[in-house]
Amino acid sequence: MIVTTKQLFEHAYGKYAIGAYNINNLEQTMGLFRGNLDSQAPFIIQISKGARAYTHKLMLEGLIRSADEVFPNAIFAVHLDHGDEETCYDCIESGFYSSVMIDASHEDFETNVAITKRVVEAAHAKGIVVEAELGQLGGVEEHVKVDEANAKLTDPDQARKFVELTGCDSLACAIGTSHGAFKFTGTQGLRFDVLAEIQSRLPGFPLVMHGSSSVPQEEVARINAAGGNLKGAKGVDATQFRRAAELGVTKINIDTDGRLVWTRVHREHFLEHPENFDLRPVGKIFMTEYAKFIAEKNEFLGSAGQLEAVRQVLEG
Ligand code: G3H
Ligand code: 13P
Ligand code: ZN
């Protein structure tokens, strides 16, 4: 069942966070649905502009519609990740997405407000909810590259003003995380002090944490042992997710960790079976491993086991 992120956040606020996972293909889609059902968790499917362009935007839509039929017990939102204004309108018009992110965080405050406000008006007219971003994470995003040194943490007073002016439904905040596999090159960590300040200015308002992959060292070591070359990769400590949730974070974005699972499975498989050239045996292993990975993440997020409670609220 496709719902809005807002509906999921109402149940989660202050208690747990919903996992927002990026998908690009069939195998990820299968693993995602299985892992969330195995752990009985509501979830958010994230589709980036790059994912829409990877094959064709309608292919992902078709996959998700089919998965909804194959897994009728799943409860999830379909969300555009890091949208520009044009892509937001395309998703709003499509009638498929229940939620879009407008990311104008690289613009100055006034321009960010103006763009976000336009998207909010168009989305709300169709019952679609909007995530916006204020502050800048380090790392690589769809259309922006930000040095760790230049990452700008979200200003709590500006955050309150931004939400008031734009009418957005949730806010992605920069609180020390960054995108990709190479976070925290220095001694940086999550800024719970900044998060607490933001929550005090926006009590009850859903906050979002991007760049939240954990980049497990064991995963990196396995990839490197199987011929990979990921040096110095480091991520967010997943045991901190629950504390972030208590401080108003209702959505936690994870993409890189899933890519690491894909890389590890494929590297190890072809190293161990150099004679193989069939895509299905390794695809099957990946789907199982991806489902396991999702279920484990949901334990850290606290979303595991919440599915029936969410269903009851939705069905009144
Ligand atoms: O924050 C970006 C996400 O990890 C999506 O990555 O734009 O390469 O699909 P992508
Ligand atoms: P990671 O690169 O840490 O997985 O972050 C993903 C993300 O924020 C997608 O919007
Ligand atoms: Zn992101």
Residue 84 in contact with ligand 1 by CB distance below 6 A: no
What burial class does residue 214 get, using C-beta atoms within 10 Å of its C-beta: 0-12 exposed, 13-18 middle, 19+ buried? Answer: buried
Cβ(210) to ligand 2 under 6 A?
yes
- The DSSP annotation for 83-134 comes to E-HHHHHHHHHHT--SEEEE--TTS-HHHHHHHHHHHHHHHHTTT-EEEEEE
Domains of the chain, with CATH numbers?
Answer: 5-314 (3.20.20.70)
Ligand 2 atom nearest 258 alpha carbon: 4
| Whether the CB of 103 sits within 6 Å of ligand 2 | no
- The torsion angle over the Cα atoms of residues 240, 245, 248 and 249, rounded to 10 degrees, is 80
DSSP-assigned letter for residue 273: -
Reply yes or no on whether 81 is catalytic.
yes
The pLDDT profile of the chain, 316 residues, written as one tens digit per residue, is: 999 999 999 999 999 999 999 999 999 999 999 999 999 999 999 999 999 999 999 999 999 999 999 999 999 999 999 999 999 999 999 999 999 999 999 999 999 999 999 999 999 999 999 999 999 987 555 455 556 555 689 999 999 999 999 999 999 999 999 998 887 665 457 899 999 999 999 999 999 999 999 999 999 999 999 999 998 878 999 999 999 999 999 999 999 999 999 999 999 999 999 999 999 999 999 999 999 999 999 999 999 999 999 999 999 8
Residue 289 CA to ligand 2 centre (angstroms): 19
Chain segment 228-266, per-residue pLDDT in tens: 999 887 899 999 999 999 999 999 999 999 999 999 999
Residues with a beta carbon under 5 angstroms from ion ligand 3:
210, 253
Ligand 1 pocket test, pick from 142, 179, 260 with the greatest ligand atom count within 8 Å of Cβ, gives 142
Q: What pLDDT was estimated at residue 231?
A: 87
Probe target for ligand 2 pocket from 44, 140, 255, 293, with the most ligand atoms within 8 Å of CB: 255
Cα dist from 35 to 193, 234, 299, whole Å: 33, 24, 11
Q: Among 237, 247, 252, which Cα is nearest to 188's?
A: 237
Q: Which of 68, 81, 147, 255 is catalytic?
A: 81
Radius of gyration of the chain (CA): 19
CA angle, residues 260, 65, 31, in degrees to nearest 5? 25
Binding site membership of 105 for ligand 1 (Cβ less than 6 Å): no
Query: Would you put residue 63 in left (φ > 0), alpha (ψ -120 to 50) or beta?
Result: alpha
Residues 120-146 have pLDDT tens digits of 999 999 999 999 999 998 755 545 555
> Which residue type, as a one-letter code, is found at position 149?
A
In contact, 197 and 156? CB cutoff 8 Å: yes
Only one residue has tokens 């200015």, namely 201
257 Cα–ligand 2 center, Å: 9
Is residue 155 helix, strand or coil? coil
Phi, psi of 18 (to 5 degrees): -90, 135
Q: Would you say the CB of residue 254 lies under 6 angstroms from ligand 2?
A: yes
Confidence (pLDDT) at 187:
47
The CA-atom distances, in angstroms, between 50 and each of 147, 252, 266 are 21, 20, 22
Residue 182, classed as helix, strand or coil, is strand
For residue 144, the model assigns a pLDDT of 54
| Token output for 232 | 């110095």
